[in-house]
Amino acid sequence: MKVKVTGIPVNDQEKALKFYTDILGFVKKVDVPISADSRWLTVVSKEEQDGTEVLLEPSPNHFEPSKTYQKALFDAGIPYTQFSVDSVQKEYERLIDLGVEFSVVPTAMGTVKIAVFNDTCGNNIQIIEML
């Protein structure tokens, strides 16, 4: 078994697509309409275009428990997921220059360094560097 797709709930798919591609640097992989206001919309790492796809899932708009869970995580400052980077400090500086808001600045924690930012679509996302 291996992970092919993992989902992140987003409250606006178009806004999420712009953030995840234009700001974070992911590449759009699949974009298929599934209803009048929803798409099967995935992005992948530019460095691993055949790797795991991130589904920008509109579930908060269609399933109230998902919306409640997403908001509770966000309000508590808990990241919905994490992405690996080579250098948290360099990525932090790059994203700050692009106007991304961080709730946790680069912080060493044992064998890792982390930072947490707002993806503008209802989620805290953590970036992590193995030290």
pLDDT, tens digit, 9 for 90 and up, residues 55-101: 999 988 889 999 999 999 999 999 999 999 999 999 999 999 999 99
Q: Per the structure, how many domains does the chain have?
A: 1
Answer yes or no: is pLDDT of 40 > 90: yes
Q: Averaged over 22-39, what is the pLDDT?
A: 96
Q: What value, to the nearest 5°, has the Cα angle with vertex 48 and ends 8 and 42?
A: 30
pLDDT of 59:
87
What mean pLDDT is reported for the chain? 97
Domain holding 28, by residue range, is: 5-130
Q: Which residues contact 79 (CB under 8 A, 6 or more apart)?
A: 73, 116, 123, 124, 125, 126
The CATH number of whichever domain residue 76 belongs to comes to 3.10.180.10
